């Protein structure tokens, strides 16, 4: 059952990333981050107000959720959006899927989860796929070219989300409630919104006035809230070394959705496809052999 929730989370995140690509045509990266965070937080807050009680948040497990929110949904999302804006959804989402590398290493160190030969093989394939995508010169955005230096943004975003998986699992070991985890995580993420707003206020219109931007990033926020719950549920009943790689199937869904809906904005080349195949193959090995 943990596999089902992890795959569902992967699809929802992929759909959110593709919609983000559309949204970034009408708003800046910072605006997109803020709008999606606000909608994600708002939708979770409304539901948790009726579905949880205050005493469920009064334990030390919540601190792990808060930390996960700061590292993952805030910094990770900001860096991922920058990556999507600069190199396109297909490349950014593929490189972002390096998160199991960091999640597995952190899980072995901090959670004492077993590390087997299939896991090594899966991680090697994932690194190979990432390397091939990084060699792509002609793919990505049709509208403009990008620099190799831009690849660092989705890579670090993946690292942030990978580490946050372990923080979530640590929190769930103490507070086994996905809803509490999602709520606390979003509180952690939303606390940095004023800082981002203040730092960008003099450089751009921090909240877009475009109705399409609000509609698109509102949908992104709701999809991410659902994806977070599925991921927390998967981590609650499964191991990080299995759940994190399975959630990387989002790169598979991203390429399908990109080919269907973003053909006018991006092109998917053979290097991107090959890199994605290796990442997905690594995911399957990590899932079936662990």
Phi, psi of 214, deg, nearest 5: -65, -40
Provide the domain count of the chain.
Answer: 1
* 290 vs 190: CA distance, rounded Å: 35
pTM here is 0.77
- What's the pLDDT at 133? 66
- Its domain, for residue 167, covers 2-288
* 100 vs 240: CA distance, rounded Å: 9
pLDDT mean values, one per 10 residues, the chain (290 residues): 87 90 84 89 93 91 93 85 79 74 78 75 76 59 63 88 89 93 92 72 66 93 94 89 76 73 63 76 65
Measure Cα distances from 110 to 2, 34, 75, 97, 113 in Å. 21, 32, 22, 21, 8
The tokens of 270 are what? 């053979």
- Asked if residues 254 and 29 have their Cβ atoms less than 8 Å apart, the reply is no
Give the tens place of pLDDT for each residue, 22-71. 888 888 888 888 899 899 999 999 999 999 999 999 999 999 999 999 99
């Amino acid at each position: 059952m943990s596999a089902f929730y992890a795959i569902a989370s992967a699809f929802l995140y992929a759909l959110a990333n593709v919609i983000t690509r559309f949204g970034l045509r009408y708003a800046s990266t910072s605006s997109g981050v803020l709008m999606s965070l606000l909608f994600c937080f708002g939708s979770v807050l409304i539901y948790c107000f009726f579905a949880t009680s205050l005493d469920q948040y009064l334990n030390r497990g919540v601190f792990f959720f808060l930390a996960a929110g700061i590292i993952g949904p805030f910094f990770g999302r900001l860096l991922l959006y920058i990556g999507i804006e600069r190199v396109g959804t297909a490349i950014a989402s593929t490189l972002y899927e390096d998160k199991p590398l960091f999640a597995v290493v952190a899980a072995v160190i901090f959670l004492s989860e077993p590390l087997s030969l299939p896991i090594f093989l899966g991680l090697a394939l994932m690194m190979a796929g990432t390397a091939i995508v990084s060699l792509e010169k002609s793919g990505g955005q049709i509208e403009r070219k990008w620099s190799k230096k831009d690849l660092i943004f989705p890579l670090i975003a993946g690292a942030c989300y990978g580490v946050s998986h372990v923080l979530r699992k640590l929190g769930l070991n103490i507070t086994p409630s996905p809803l509490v985890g999602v709520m606390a995580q979003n509180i952690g993420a939303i606390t940095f919104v004023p800082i981002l707003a203040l730092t960008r206020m003099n450089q751009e219109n921090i909240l877009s006035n475009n109705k399409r931007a609000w509609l698109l990033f509102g949908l992104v926020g709701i999809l991410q809230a659902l994806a977070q719950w599925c991921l927390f549920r998967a981590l609650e009943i499964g191991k990080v070394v299995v759940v994190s790689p399975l959630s990387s199937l989002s790169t598979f869904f991203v390429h399908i959705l990109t080919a269907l809906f973003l053909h006018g904005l991006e092109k998917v080349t053979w290097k991107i496809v090959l890199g994605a195949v290796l990442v997905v193959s690594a995911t399957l090995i990590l899932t079936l052999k662990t």
